[in-house]
Structure 1
Amino acid sequence: MPTCVIAQPIHPVGAQLLGAAGIDVIQAPGPDLASVRSVMANANAVLVRDSLPADLIDAAPGLCVIANHGTGTDKIDVARATELGVPVVYTPDANVRAVAEHALTLMLATAHQAAQADAATRRGHWRFKYEQPMLSLHGKTLGIAGLGRTGRILSEMASRGLGMRILVWSPSLPADETLGEGVTRVDSLEALLQASDVVALHRPLRADTQHMLNAATISQMKPGAIVVNTSRGGLIDEVALVEALRNGRLFGAGLDVFEQEPLTADSPLAGLPNVVLTPHVAGSSQEALHATASQCAEQIIAVLNGQRPAHMVRPEVWDRRRQLSSLPVREDHA
């Protein structure tokens, strides 16, 4: 019986599908790397929602597939997995609507100071409504950096639901790509930042996108603008962002992802009154978790049965993949 390690908690449907397919499911005793390592030795598959460095991949000599619970795979050592012939599968569309909804939530919550108003209400500070400025998003310009699936859904919701003007900067977007009604393409990040009242980041984290928002680019933003990030924390230089929020250059920020996760209690971001923070939960609606766990399980089952999965990060690994049939029989299963 092949074995799958579930590194962090997922929707129960994932384990149910794996078990029904005859796969032995082992839940790591905790979400941290040490806990995951403790159960990796006999893993033929691993389903991960967080980091999977090379040493953990090496700790499972019978590993045949890694399933990433979500879209971004920057926390997985894909290069090492590929070198070993281990396909890395992912779920590019399972949680995109949930992430777009969360980005919209952060936009609204930041503009209307929802978290701060909630805290004021709980402590009986009724004068809050006389003291704190709030913004309406209707008629404002939303700049979306990266028009993938999430960015498209967000642009539609903001345009139709809030009457916002939509600008898009997406370097990988084909020149002849059809954009939605009311969506305008700009040619540079600078042009996007200069014209946008709200900037939403939806780009993957790579060497060329690391700190795409930094002191220099933030200085190009409209005074009083809002930043929203539900993609990857490394897209923003948090030191520069904190400074811009402290000195009033920016109205506020809504952040679901951070350079260091979990966010530490002493992070300067945690002490700012004009920031709405959530703990990397944008894709965690029950519906999205169900879909993501299902897609991960289905792809694990496919790979272990010798069938090509729907979504591989490096498709070229398939023809030289490590397979169950080529592994020595383990003594514990003999």
Structure 2
Amino acid sequence: MPQRCAILDDYQDVALAMADWGGLAGAVEVDRFADHVEGQEVLAARLADYDILLAMRERTAFGRDLLARLPKLKLLLTTGMLNAAIDMQAAAELGITVAGTRGTVGPAAELTWGLLLALTRHIPAEVANFRAGGERWQISVGSGLKGKTLGVAGIGKLGQLVAGYGRAFGMNVLGWSRSNTPERSAALGIGFAASLDELLAVSDIVTLHLTLTPETAGIIGRREIGLMKAGAIIVNTSRGPLIDEPALIEALENGRIGGAALDVFDREPLPADHPFRRLANVVATPHLGYVTEETYRVYFADAVEDITAWLAGSPLRVLNGVDAARARR
């Protein structure tokens, strides 16, 4: 009898077209779901009969309670090699193998810059006015980037790419991370901020490229926003919970900062009545940082490879230390 596999949160209905799933025919039956489901009861009912699940990044959370209610689940795949929404320890204790896929870094950095330009040049509003045939040919006055200070919080692979874009636009780029040094910044051709507070205080634009951990959750709160220049803007394409969302909304509503460019949120999909959907000084996208054809082709091809290897008893890219011998039978 073939294993059953469910692909979750395939919003664009593209997963089956992005890889060759034909090699699994006869061994695995594949279903896909385009809608996003929340709530443990609904998820448990929908997924109870599946042996294999493929989660798209962190769109669906798999905590201990939900995993325990999926008795047939043997292999849980996540696109990418990090997924804070999966309780890895619980999966290991339950004998569920968790495996990942390779990914790409560039698209998220590119989107960061696209959002930054969209906000500083009021591109969404101008496009909407243009399409609507507005009475006024131009409705805004944007601001340039040359000579401005770009503060990059987190200078790993993504942060380094964005820092490079800032240099190419003639910006004064500063980098900060807890492990950064003056020597490392010098090697990257950027300035060194000794602390996050310093970075926030001197930057015209702050962009976040930090990994979400218990230590970094809420790292930008009301106090930190208060340190920013009046009129400064913040960009977040990493993870929503890095910023205290109510504090950011308050600062945007009262004009304490100039604006925010966002691709990530505390809750996704974002509720229809959320303030970020109405604030004129917010430019936002629905977590598109990694959503490119090139990235998807890597994700889904690797997922097929992961399933094939797991069926053969030699799982690849295992993230929680569960091997075939310990996995659920």
Q: TM-score, normalised by structure 2?
A: 0.85
1:284 aligns with 2:291: yes
Instruction: Give the secondary-structure state (helix, strand or coil) at the position aligned to 1:110.
Output: helix
1:139 to 133, 138, 147: 147
SS in structure 2 at match of 1:204: coil
Structure 2 CA distance for partners of 1:121 and 1:171, relative to 1, 3 Å: same
Shift in alpha-carbon separation, 1:305–1:36, aligned structure 2, 3 A: farther
Q: In the superposition, relative to structure 1, how do residues 240 and 178 fare at CA in structure 2: closer, same or farther (>3 Å)?
A: closer
Q: Which moved more, 1:67-76 or 1:253-262?
A: 67-76
Distance 2:327 2:217 in 1: 35
Shift of 1:195: 2.1
Shift of 1:322: 3.2
Kindly report which structure 2 residues correspond to 1:1-334, keeping only aligned pairs within 5 A, or say none. Answer: 1-9=2-10, 10-12=14-16, 13-14=18-19, 16=21, 19=24, 22-28=27-33, 30-33=35-38, 36-49=43-56, 50-51=59-60, 52-70=62-80, 72-91=82-101, 94-127=103-136, 129=138, 132-160=140-168, 162-172=169-179, 181-310=188-317, 312-314=318-320, 317-318=321-322, 322-323=326-327, 327=329
Quote the offset at 1:197 in angstroms.
1.6
Q: Is contact 1:18–1:24 with CA below 8 Å preserved after alignment? A: no
**Which shifted more, 266-275 or 240-249?**
240-249
Structure 2 CA distance, aligned partners of 1:177 and 1:300?
Answer: 40
When the two structures are aligned, how many residues end up with a matched partner?
Answer: 319
Alpha-carbon contact 1:84-1:322 (below 8 Å) kept: no
Q: CA deviation at 1:105?
A: 0.5
SS in 2 for 1:263: coil
1:308 Cα deviation after fit:
4.4
Q: Deviations over 1:120-149 (max 9, x none)?
A: 2233335373x5331111232222222222
The Cα offsets for residues 222-255 of structure 1, whole Å up to 9 and x where unpaired, read as: 2221111111111111221122222222221111
What is the Cα-based RMSD across aligned positions, in Å?
Answer: 2.8
Give the whole-Å Cα distance in 2 for the aligned partners of 1:303 and 1:175. 45
Query: Cα distance 1:191–1:87, how it changes in 2: closer, same or farther (>3 A)?
Result: farther
Structure 1: gaps (5+ residues): 328-334
